[in-house]
Amino acid sequence: MIIAIDGPAASGKGTVAKRIAAHYGLPHLDTGALYRAVARDTVARGDDLTDPAVAAAAAGHLDVDTLDDPALRTAGVGEAASIVARHGEVRAVLLEYQRRFAKNPAGAVIDGRDIGTVICPDADVKLFVTASSEERAHRRYLELRESGIRISEDEVLADIRNRDARDRTREASPLRQAEDAALLDTTNLDIDAAFRAAIDLIEAAMGQAGQAG
């Protein structure tokens, strides 16, 4: 079973995806971490994030064993990731790895921004997880504050809106809800409620698939 989960930054999709993967005993891939790692490595070498060739080179030499690097969760790396993610050359390099991951015999849970539309268009279940920009900014602000990062909530909101604009308007695999994806709005849901709602949507989709078969 392949479960594709898409959505904007701080919508809760990553946390929900992890819990779904644990619930069904499936491997999980946070594809956002791939782009964050590419951005981290590009910056570390002093290269230009806006140069598609150098960012693609970083993607080609990416060490996937470093995807749990805590540095990937910082605001700066997240912002940088949204820049390299706009490059079609980078997305082309990472496409093969993502699709190979999805071919796990048992299935997989994969979250990102183009999973249901590009990476796994034939996924068994597709979810699009979202929330209001204000709520997403509040969540990210609390995370950053707990990490000791001093920033105002208004600044976080501006960053969220700028990132949304880049993700939705980029030429390469823009963020959008797949036509056959179920919408999950987490604006007024805590993580437990969001997880339960996601499971309900998945079970409903699988039930419909079983009836169709």
Q: Does position 172 have pLDDT exceeding 60, yes or no?
A: yes
Read off the pTM.
0.92
What is the per-residue pLDDT for 79? 86
For 103-130, write each residue's pLDDT tens digit. 999 999 999 999 999 999 999 999 999 9
Is the model's pLDDT at 212 over the cut of 80? no
CA distance 88 to 70: 26
DSSP notation for the chain: -EEEEE--TTSSHHHHHHHHHHHHT--EEEHHHHHHHHHHHHHHTT--TT-HHHHHHHHHT--GGGTT-GGGGSHHHHHHHHHHTT-HHHHHHHHHHHHHHHT-TT-EEEEESSIIIII-TT-SEEEEEE--HHHHHHHHHHHHHHTT----HHHHHHHHHHHHHHHHH-SSS-----TTPEEEE-TT--HHHHHHHHHHHHHHHHHHHHHH-
Residue 149: predicted pLDDT: 84
Spell out the domains of the chain, with CATH numbers in brackets: 2-199 (3.40.50.300)
Contacts of 32 (CB under 8 A, 6+ apart): 14, 81, 111, 112, 113
Reported as a single tens digit per residue, the pLDDT across 6-56 is 999 999 999 999 999 999 999 999 999 999 999 999 999 999 999 999 999
Task: Give the confidence band of 205 by pLDDT, cuts at 50, 70, 90.
Answer: very high
Going by pLDDT thresholds of 50, 70 and 90, the confidence category of residue 213 is low
- pLDDT at res. 199: 98
Confidence at 72, pLDDT banded by 50, 70, 90: very high
Query: How much is the average pLDDT of 152-173?
Result: 93
% of the chain exceeding 70 in pLDDT: 98
How much is the mean pLDDT over the chain? Answer: 94
pLDDT digits (tens, 9 = 90+) for 84-98: 999 999 999 999 999
